[in-house]
Amino acid sequence: MPRSGEDARRRLQDAALALFRERGYDHTTTAEIAAQAGVTERTFFRHFPDKREVLFESQEKLATALTQAIAEAPQDLSPMAVLQRAFQQVAPRFEANRSYSLPRQELIERTPILKERETSKLGALSQTLAVSLERRGIDGFRAQLAARSGMAIFALVLDAWFKDPSRSLADYFSRAFVELGRL
């Protein structure tokens, strides 16, 4: 059994998703997850501050990628155009990982306490986006408004794409931004 922290971390994440899907989130104990991953319960809490967090590492990476994409966008783009560009840039992450992200999303949708954590993470993410937009010289209120509306689109588009992947994410994003302009 390797003692590399990263390895144990991934085993914990895999075990958690598998067990949650099998028995449901609240009928799975952290002890069971740890056992299946070959570590002690204490190790679970060393890697993740609470039981839910084991499913949300991908969102941290997403935040980093989006922040970078916004910082690198051409200066003459409008706030919404910057966001649209950033979203398009991270879209491949989802399309490449549908076999992981879809079951994960299904689990989250049917588990209120996980849904709550996800919504909260998306809220924090929109806060991060707002800060990134402000760094480009956009005034605070507009940055917040753009970031929050942008995240609304982001969540909505992913949701639609999970349900019907026959259209590409890029396509969904384009249409959604056009729709928002019309409203």
31 near DNA, rule: CB under 7 A: yes
State which residue, 35 or 80, has the beta carbon closest to a second copy.
80
8 near DNA, rule: CB under 7 A: yes
115 interface partner picked from DNA, a second copy, none, CB below 5 to 8 A per type: a second copy
Q: Give the type of residue at 26.
A: D
49 near DNA, rule: CB under 7 A: yes
State which residue, 32 or 53, has the beta carbon closest to a second copy.
53
Among 149, 162, 165, 174, the residue binding a second copy under the rule CB under 8 A is 149
What is the CB-side half-sphere exposure of residue 2 using CA atoms within 13 A? 8
- Answer whether 173's CB lies under 8 Å from 157's CB: yes
38 near DNA, rule: CB under 7 A: yes
Q: Which residue has the tokens 């991953």?
A: 37
- Answer whether 43's CB lies under 8 Å from 8's CB: yes
Among 18, 35, 77, 160, the residue binding a second copy under the rule CB under 8 A is 160
What is the CB-side half-sphere exposure of residue 137 using CA atoms within 13 A? 6
Integer-rounded Cα radius of gyration of the chain: 18
Q: Is 29 helix (H, G, I), strand (E, B) or coil?
A: coil
State which residue, 8 or 66, has the beta carbon closest to a second copy.
66
Phi-psi region of 38 (alpha: psi -120 to 50; beta: other; left: phi over 0): left
Least distance between a second copy and beta carbon 153 (Å): 7
State which residue, 39 or 125, has the beta carbon closest to DNA.
39
Q: Which two tokens stand for residue 87?
A: 């979203």
Which H helix or E strand runs over 164?
none
State which residue, 6 or 76, has the beta carbon closest to DNA.
6
* Other CB atoms within 10 Å distance of the CB of residue 10: 14
170 near a second copy, rule: CB under 8 A: no
146 near a second copy, rule: CB under 8 A: yes
Which residues, 85 to 124, sit near a second copy by CB under 8 A? 115-117, 119-120, 123
170 interface partner picked from DNA, a second copy, none, CB below 5 to 8 A per type: none
